[in-house]
Structure formats: C-alpha cells, structure tokens
Amino acid sequence: MPAIDASADAPATVAGLLDALAGPGWHVDPAFLDADAVAALRAECLRAHAAGTFHAAGVGRGQARVNAGIRGDQVLWLDPDSAGPAGMAILDRLEDLRRAVNRDLCLGLFDLELHFAHYPPGAGYQRHLDRFRDDDRRALTVILYLNEAWRPEHGGQLRFWPEADGEPLDIEPRAGTLVTFLSDRFWHEVLPTRQARLSVTGWFRRR
C-alpha cells in the first residue's frame, strides 16, 4: 500500500499546512521541529517515563477504560504546570499554530489537550476517529514524532485513511514529523511497534 516516508519530503511551511487543512483536511510536515528541539523533547519524555509518571491510556470519554487490546500506549499529559523547558517550547509553538489556523481558517480553536505517548514493543492502537460521538469539541488533531533513526522494519506506522472507504496511507513516525488532520473526518490507527515509539499527541478543541 502507499506509504509516506517523511524523511524524503521537503520541509513544509505553515502556509502549506493551512492550505492543506483548507483543502483535503490533512497534512504531513516532515520538518516541523529541528533535530535539537526534537532531542530535547525526546529526552524530557524519556526522563518522565523512567520516573514512572506515565499511566496506561484509556478508551472513551470521562471514565476512560483501559483496554490493551484496543490501545497499548502509556501517556503523560502536558500543560504549563507540568511541562519542562522542552514541553513548554512545544506548547508555545503549537499555540502559534492555533493562532494561525484561527486567523486564516476561522476554526474557533480554543484550547489544546496534549500528552506524551509511549508505545512499548508490541503495542498499537486500533482504527478509530478522534472525535467522540457525544462531544464535538475536538476539532484538529496534532501528532509530533520523536523517534530518532526510525526504520520501516520497526513498525509503528500511522495508518491513515484519506477516504474512509479508500486505500490507506502508512506514515512513518520519524523524528520531527508533524501530522495534522481534522479530528472528525479521518480514520487512523497505529500499527504494532517493534520498539519503543514516542510522540507528542493532542487535539485543539472548540468551546
């Protein structure tokens, strides 16, 4: 099936991201963060994971239930009260993105839910949409990958359906790559990984 090897693509501008969201509704930027910024964010993520501050991710809204057969990642929420310097830097960068999207696309994005995600070997996340059936606040999904020297044989690709009934694309989770898409439109899954897989994942929300 088609695959996107982000390392082979040219860097994209915010203008290109905005054009893509206004058109097909999804975008892959292979160079959203440079290597130094990625390394700092990855180190912050790994320190927090080693300290035991992550917890098993749940499925559903409210009292989310843990079901490793559906999703096997561990998460740590990021906000200004808990983030370290690298976490604060990415929160600031994504705030700039929120303002640009609201200015040019009028999506009314109000705030951001954001977390580190750690997938241990063997873990994945079955096909799903990011917007809950009874809550339409999630509007724009953002996924930033932190995986250095990632190769296709490591697994863990984001399998993404540009059309719900069409052929999916496999997106490699390479360091510095940012994937954005409208949360209510695009089915996706995380294929089982063969080594620890790290990302910063979240959703811009409307009121």
Any alpha helices (H) in the chain, and if so which ranges? 14-22, 35-50, 85-105
138: in domain = yes
The domain total for the chain is: 1
Give 68's DSSP letter. Answer: T
Has residue 126 been placed in a domain? Answer: yes
**CATH number, residue 91:** 2.60.120.620
- The mean per-residue pLDDT over the stretch 179-199 comes to 97
**Which range scores top for mean pLDDT: 68-82, 93-107, 129-143?**
93-107
Residue 156 in any domain: the answer is: yes
Instruction: Count other C-beta atoms under 10 Å from residue 154's C-beta.
Output: 17
With respect to residue 207, please indicate whether it lies within any of the assigned structural domains.
no
Range in 9-18, 70-79, 80-89, 192-201 with the lowest mean pLDDT: 9-18
What does the block give as tokens for 15?
Answer: 């203008």
Question: Which among 22, 29, 177, 195 is positioned nearest to 100, based on CA atoms?
Answer: 22
pLDDT tens digits, 120-135: 999 999 999 998 777 8
The predicted model scores a pTM of 0.92
For residue 203, being part of any structural domain is answered with: no
State percent of the chain over pLDDT 90.
Answer: 83
Average pLDDT, the chain: 91
Quick one: which H or E segment has residue 142?
A: strand 138-145
Q: What is the mean pLDDT of residues 148-164?
A: 97
- Which domain range does residue 177 map to? 3-8+19-54+70-162+172-189
Q: Please give the distance of CA 48 from its chain centroid, rounded to a whole number.
A: 18
* Rounded CA separation 43/65 (Å): 29
Q: Is the pLDDT of residue 69 over 90?
A: no
Write the DSSP symbol of residue 135.
Answer: B
DSSP-assigned letters across all residues of 147-201: BTT--GGGB--EEE-SSTTS--EEE--BTT-EEEEETTT--EEEPPBSS-EEEEE
DSSP 8-state secondary structure symbol assigned to residue 80: T
